[in-house]
A and B are shown apart, each in its own frame.
Chain A
Amino acid sequence: MLVKEGISVESESSSSVIMMKAVGKEGSLWGAGFRRLRRNRLAVFGLLLVLIFFVTAIVGPAVAPYDFLSQSIDEAMRGPSALHWFGTDALGRDIFSRILYGARTAALVALTTTAISLLIGIALGCLAGFLQGWVDEFVMWITDIVMSLPSLLLAILVNTALKRPVAMWFGQMYIQTGNPVFLNVLWLDYVLVFGALALIGWAGYARLIRGQVLSIGRTLYVDAARSLGANTGRIIGRHIVPNAIGPVIVAVTQGMGAAIVAESSLSFLGIGVQPPNASWGSMLSDGLLLWRTFPHLMVIPAVTIGVIQIGFIFLGDGLNDALNPRQ
């Protein structure tokens, strides 16, 4: 029996080796996907914008011509000029530098909230997909409800309700550890935004991953692998994850764009990342007060958010076409 299992696993893996070789003639599955992506001009354009965005987030504050906080009343409300490319705001801060710094805020929020919601989504989606039965029903019930809620209201609720307890917790942590990190109000804003956005973001991932687990679990090749004696770990590692990962990558790309928009919308409403820290959303709402006389205050952050968002959408659509050719 043992020997038999050993042989069958062996034969199962060798059959997939043959498969890989057959595919290998035209390059691997990923290589083919990448080539399809490269042929799609819009997707390449989107990829370029997304790359610029992340590079700006990393090096932007270092190469910014001015400190994003430095104010100067003499220079306030200037239009775009050679000295200040995007002009200055009501406090005389250089808008170009603030846009660059805002990219870091946006990237941090996008990466962290996507990571948190993806982790929750993977955990709950796998739980529902593998256990099925009442666990599945329960998880899907909550997922449906979260997805059918006015998400912005929920984020507002969580953000305002958690502000006091998190601030108190920060205070206690500072007393206990003496770590100056806990005195920083910036991190408080971030924690609140992460919490609020992850709470509304996980449901989409959970539903997607559950669907993937269920549909791939039913395919003939998983049946075949199972009947050849592959254990659950092997089925997950070799069959379910590689086949489920394409749609998840697409969802993550689109989710990051959505997280950037969600962060700017919270900051726009005055509850996300707050001034003096630079966030495109709060810059936009600052510009709203004076747009008739100084439209650049409003137009520049608006266009920035729009361009980055379009980059993520184009890249997401391109990845969808490239990685999920069966659709």
Chain B
Amino acid sequence: MFGYLIKRSLRWSSGILLVLFFSYAMMFYGAGDPIKRMFVDLREGSTSVDEAMIEKIRVSYGLDQPFPVQFANYLGKLMQGDMGYSIREQRDVMTMVRKRLPISMQLGLVATVLGALIGVPLGVVAALNHNRRLDALIVSVIVFINALPIFVTGPLLLVFLVLVLKIIDVPFGWKGIFDSQVILPVTVLALGPLPSIVRMTRIGMLEVMGNDYIRTARAKGLPERTVILRHMLRPVLIPVVTSLGLIMITLVNGAIFVELIFNIPGFGKLTLQGLQQVDYPIIMTVVFVGTIIVMVSNLLVDFVYPLLDPRITRD
């Protein structure tokens, strides 16, 4: 058990390190001299800053050091929560993340809960009606939702609800998670993980339904509800819970589009800002934080998995 946890921790932390190394190398060799870029960016094409001055600043930031030293310095600073300064805004990137990330986290959390609350019952209903019309309907709707990317469904829903049905006003901006404006963004965001939740629940249910212990449960006179909730759903939900890593990927990717479409000042919007202004410290931080979120949820799943399914650590 202990060895298993160590092994999984090593796997995901080495992954984070690999991503950090890769992204740092990309920026180091791809982005060019950050100090020079700072001045060129501030005054377009200006040569008023002389070389000696630039060199001085470069040395003061440790940018004259070779790649391994700079990378080690970067890691050291990262450990202390220092993610560098935004080139354009001259602000601490960490503060920006701390302000923006909670907004996206709230949206993501509500979207996950919504996805599970809709997806699991849909999967159960589809499995209970296996090979009937309702099953076919649910499966085909899920195929469509899965096929359409979020930046297609979002705009289409907007046009449909605002212009065709005229039942809502344009949701725009951020007024807190309890404001009714979040309904549409959260719904669109929840469409990302929904198909895999429904599919996994449905397939799991179909596998479990034929088992002997289900027949036993029915034979001893348990009400159908108890059979479904306690005997079928429990083993089925394990793979759903363990796909948290995948769910997080769809949420991190989805946040970028949803926050662009609905103009929500969250983590995704920060990503866009870094992207549009070619602000490398922001891009690096965003990649780092996104990776951490996904890797930590993977690690969490690995830690919880043995508790849900004791068979896993036996080999």
A149 touches B260 (CB 8 A): no
**With A145-B15, A299-B156 in contact, do A153 and B149 touch (Cβ < 8 Å)?**
no
Chain A residue with Cβ nearest B279: A160
One digit per residue, 1 when the CB lies within 8 angstroms of any chain A CB and 0 when it does not, for chain B 258-277 equals 00110000000001100110
A299 touches B245 (CB 8 A): no
A-B contact pairs, 8 of them (CB 8 A): A142-B18, A148-B295, A151-B249, A165-B30, A264-B149, A284-B151, A295-B163, A309-B147
A302 touches B152 (CB 8 A): yes
Chain A residue with Cβ nearest B291: A149
B146 touches A160 (CB 8 A): no
Q: How many angstroms between the C-alpha atoms of A241 and B50 in the bound complex?
A: 62
- Which applies to chain B's interface (DSSP): helix, strand, loop or mixed? helix
Cβ-defined partner of B155 (8 Å) among A142, A150, A302? A302
Q: How many angstroms between the C-alpha atoms of A305 and B146 in the bound complex?
A: 13
B26 touches A157 (CB 8 A): yes
Q: Which residues of A contact B29 (CB under 8 A)?
A: 165
- Decide if B103 is an interface residue (CB 8 Å cutoff): no
Cβ-defined partner of B286 (8 Å) among A151, A153, A261, A287? A153
Minimal beta-carbon separation of B190 from chain A (angstroms): 17
- Decide if A53 is an interface residue (CB 8 Å cutoff): no
**With A150-B252, A153-B286, A161-B26 in contact, do A302 and B278 touch (Cβ < 8 Å)?**
no
Q: Which of A273-327 contact B (CB under 8 A)?
A: 281, 284-285, 287-288, 291-292, 295, 298-299, 302-303, 305-306, 309-310, 313, 317
Q: Which of B80-96 contact A (CB under 8 A)?
A: none
One digit per residue, 1 when the CB lies within 8 angstroms of any chain A CB and 0 when it does not, for chain B 145-167 equals 01111011001101100110000
B252 touches A153 (CB 8 A): yes
A161 touches B11 (CB 8 A): no
Q: How many angstroms between the C-alpha atoms of A158 and B295 in the bound complex?
A: 20
Query: How big is chain A's contact interface, by range?
Result: 35 or more
B146 touches A148 (CB 8 A): no
Q: How many angstroms between the C-alpha atoms of A265 and B150 in the bound complex?
A: 9
A313 touches B143 (CB 8 A): yes
Minimal beta-carbon separation of B155 from chain A (angstroms): 5
Q: Which residues of B contact A151 (CB under 8 A)?
A: 249, 253
Q: How many angstroms between the C-alpha atoms of A292 and B166 in the bound complex?
A: 12
A265 touches B291 (CB 8 A): no
Q: How many angstroms between the C-alpha atoms of A41 and B276 in the bound complex?
A: 44
Minimal beta-carbon separation of A256 from chain B (angstroms): 13
- Decide if B256 is an interface residue (CB 8 Å cutoff): yes
Q: Which residues of B contact A154 (CB under 8 A)?
A: 287
A298 touches B159 (CB 8 A): yes
A152 touches B163 (CB 8 A): no
List 5 tightest A-B contacts by C-beta distance, closest first: A161-B30, A161-B26, A145-B15, A150-B252, A150-B290
- Decide if B205 is an interface residue (CB 8 Å cutoff): no
Q: How many angstroms between the C-alpha atoms of A182 and B105 in the bound complex?
A: 44
**With A269-B272, A270-B275, A292-B163 in contact, do A302 and B291 touch (Cβ < 8 Å)?**
no
- Decide if B201 is an interface residue (CB 8 Å cutoff): no
- Decide if A101 is an interface residue (CB 8 Å cutoff): no
Minimal beta-carbon separation of B97 from chain A (angstroms): 14
**Extra pairs beyond A270-B276, A271-B275, A284-B155 (17, CB < 8 Å):** A141-B11, A145-B15, A149-B249, A153-B287, A153-B290, A156-B271, A160-B278, A161-B23, A161-B27, A162-B30, A265-B149, A288-B155, A295-B159, A299-B156, A305-B149, A310-B144, A313-B143
One digit per residue, 1 when the CB lies within 8 angstroms of any chain A CB and 0 when it does not, for chain B 265-308 equals 00000011001101010011011001101110010000000000
A157 touches B283 (CB 8 A): yes
B290 touches A268 (CB 8 A): no
- Decide if A25 is an interface residue (CB 8 Å cutoff): no
A161 touches B253 (CB 8 A): no
Q: How many angstroms between the C-alpha atoms of A288 and B154 in the bound complex?
A: 11
Q: How many angstroms between the C-alpha atoms of A261 and B19 in the bound complex?
A: 24
Q: How many angstroms between the C-alpha atoms of A54 and B26 in the bound complex?
A: 35
- Decide if B170 is an interface residue (CB 8 Å cutoff): yes
- Decide if B32 is an interface residue (CB 8 Å cutoff): yes
Q: Which residues of A contact B260 (CB under 8 A)?
A: 269, 285, 288
Q: Which of B208-267 contact A (CB under 8 A)?
A: 245, 248-249, 252-253, 256-257, 260-261
- Decide if B57 is an interface residue (CB 8 Å cutoff): no
Cβ-defined partner of A306 (8 Å) among B11, B152, B275? B152
Most chain B CB inside 10 Å of its own CB: which residue of A148, A150, A154, A295: A150
B162 touches A292 (CB 8 A): yes
